Structure 1
Amino acid sequence: MEILVLIGRVVFALLFLGSGYGHFAQRQMMTGYAASKGVPAAKLMVPLTGLQLLVGALMVALGIWPDVGALLLVVFLVPTAFMLHGFWAETDPGAKSMEQTQFLKDLALAGAALVMFAVFANLGSDLGLVLVGPAFSLS
């Protein structure tokens, strides 16, 4: 089971590593998009959330307090769903559909990250294949 959990952690983290990198590599474009969606202090928030994504993903993938890493991802995903993908405000059917898909994707990923948090915190030292075990204990 340990190897399956490790593979799952790494595969899950890949999406966030790419997105976190994009926050820096495409900073100007992402800042403009965030500002257009009403994100306060977008110029500051884009690199901060990029760092949050990179740190959270690395924590999950490498097993360095993976429960904390999963929570960092949840804390990014839920506000992002509501602030950037408000499909309910769209009038164009195509844009509404696209935003609804992105909204639901973010919530689904947040749900998966919450499940990871619970599993990591519940398994504790039995998680295996981690550098530093979970910071929380739910058992």
Structure 2
Amino acid sequence: MIVIAHLSDTHIDTGAADGGRSADRTRSVMKYLNSLPYDLDAVIATGDIADHATPSEYEAARELLATRHPLLTCPGNQDERPAYREHFLGEPPSKAPINTAHATDTFTPALCDTSVPGEDHGLPEDETFDWLSTLLAEPHPPAPS
């Protein structure tokens, strides 16, 4: 059996207006997940990791989402790719889509970045379609049903 925990729209906000609520909620969820007596196959955090896409929010999110389980993330419309990469993922900043996959012995979750910089709607870029096509062309174990 594959067991995944999915978090969405954490909206980590390090500003005074939030009063620490977003961090407290995320901390509570992660404390629960990290205390489970078994390992999860993945923790997937999607969409709007940060509320204002500031470096401090991404740095706080990186600490809050720390887990012993494999962690996969994908940005949302309020996230900004360069800051997300640099301050959350620890990678060089880039405006390219942040597509993520994690191959295991039983499945490969693929997270496709459909965020459109500066817009509220989502739309995959050609780069994302190319990435996904390449990933799907590789052999993968069948998922148990």
Task: Give the TM-score of the pair, scaled to structure 2.
Answer: 0.28
Greater relative CO (CA pairs within 8 A, separation 6+): 1
Q: Which has the higher helix share?
A: 1
Task: Give the TM-score of the pair, scaled to structure 1.
Answer: 0.29
